[in-house]
Amino acid sequence: MPRINFRINIKGAKRISRRVLWFLGERAFVVFLTLVFVSLFIGAVIFYYYGFLVIIDEPEARPQEVQLGDESYQQFLENYRQRKANFENTDSKIYFNPFFHTNIQQ
């Protein structure tokens, strides 16, 4: 059984890449048009899947409303009132302003 050599031939890779780049450079206009049409095709596919199909297959609305229990709503309101009271009762400390020479205190 012959052994397979997996080493990369750097000189061969350079030679092949140089030939490919020269081929593309000599036919720059054709390559440009090809890339433009490929990008237009990809854009059309993306538009079709995310723009056109979404309009056709609109999701259905939920048949029943989401109902919140009275107990959990009251807990939320109590928590909200407590946070609001804590916020209003905080003492605001006035810090020294380094941009002005006077420190205005209220």
For residue range 65-80, list pLDDT tens digits in order.
777 788 989 999 999 9
| Structural domain for 55, as ranges | 10-59+68-88
Contact (CB, 8 A) for 82 and 88: no
Q: To which H or E segment does residue 18 belong?
A: helix 10-26
In this predicted structure, what is the pLDDT of residue 101? 67
If one counts the domains in the chain, the total is: 1
Write the pLDDT tens digit of every residue in 23-68.
Answer: 999 999 999 999 999 999 999 999 988 887 777 666 677 677 777 7
Whole-model pTM over 0.75: no
Assigned domain for 75 exists: yes
